[in-house]
Chains A and B, each alone.
Chain A
């Protein structure tokens, strides 16, 4: 019984290695570059930014990246930003404005 079971496990491993099992792997851009959905794009005014990180906290898309040595500056990843505008609406210092695309 145990021998049969070990054969089964081996078989499953081989099947998984050849990618026959329908298992999705985690990766960015599962639905493509969603930035093309955008009609307004957020632009961060670095001079006004007080690094409160609220935009990073509220971004539904994780499209706002924390950059810099101490990860306290923010930057928009325009490949994936869908332009919902939550960051501009929630910024307490009005450091993010929405600019029409194109």
Chain B
């Protein structure tokens, strides 16, 4: 089990209870306002340094910095795109043989490395139920190589390879992982760091494959000012485009932040989220209506899953 000081696992935590130690050191190569940096900092504070990072090619390999210095305060294995979950499983097996099973192995991969290129080995690791934590920080395109479309790019968003807006919807990765019947799946957002910390600690206390999908608004690729990173992330949650939930051993649980959003009237209009971002500057009325339909169907599914979880808890 985790063994965090003063930490009940389902308890909500305060900012003051987080450790003062930093595991992402200042002076790294991230862009100003980088969401991955917020996520990496919070990951360090959640696990308090007892982890090893496995990072496939993504922005985070750049943030690490050039030899002979590293801006991560923990050991990092840089590995090829499609190999990260298998490599992490190998490291964990090694730790267990050495009697260091309490060190967590965390894969920190972008949406391209998860939804497109790393999908096969991720699915394999999920099927074998390897004891790793997989965190996908989702900035909704290949930002590191110059904003190319990925399968996690949302509908109607501009990228350098979809100049008139993407014509397909975002791949629903957390639900794909939930379909593997792994012990723990959760969604989080960089705008709610304490929620993310609680979810990482909960994942760390469970044995088996854990998957956390972290929504990360990227100022460079989404074309908004660098001071709006957290604001855009919060709007994505409040408009209902990015629901926060966890699926713990098959039981669906909507996070407290999102509970009021089940009622359509409590959701903010999508225009508020769209108008800050340059990548949606050419969106048409039809495309906006399609996005609204998408949000509606997303929340209908969630309402169904809540019903189903209630039934399975009360019934057999």
Contact = CB atoms under 8 A, between A and B. Distances in A.
Interface of A: 19, 22, 24-34, 37-38, 52-54, 56-58, 60-63, 66, 71, 77, 79-80, 82-86, 88-90, 98
A5 B309 CA distance: 54
B26 A29 contact: yes
B235 interface: no
A31 B16 contact: no
Closest 10 CB pairs of A and B: A30-B65, A85-B227, A29-B27, A60-B37, A84-B33, A84-B32, A24-B70, A80-B26, A30-B69, A82-B32
Contacts, number: 119
Interface residues of B, number: 40
A83 to B, nearest CB: 6
B226 A30 contact: no
Contacts of A32: 27
Nearest to A29: B27
Interface of B: 15-16, 18, 20, 22, 24-30, 32-35, 37-38, 41, 64-74, 193-194, 219, 225-231
Contacts of A28: 25-27, 71
Given A58-B230, A66-B20, A85-B226, A30 B34 contact: no
A31 B61 CA distance: 13
Nearest to A33: B27
B67 A54 contact: no
Contacts of A27: 25, 69-71
User: Which label, helix, strand, loop or mixed, suits the secondary structure of the A interface?
Assistant: loop
B68 A25 contact: yes
A22 B38 contact: no
B229 A86 contact: yes
A24 B65 CA distance: 9
A56 B32 CA distance: 15
Given A60-B37, A61-B26, A30 B227 contact: no
B282 to A, nearest CB: 26
Contacts of B227: 84-86, 88-89, 98
A54 B230 CA distance: 11
A4 B181 CA distance: 45
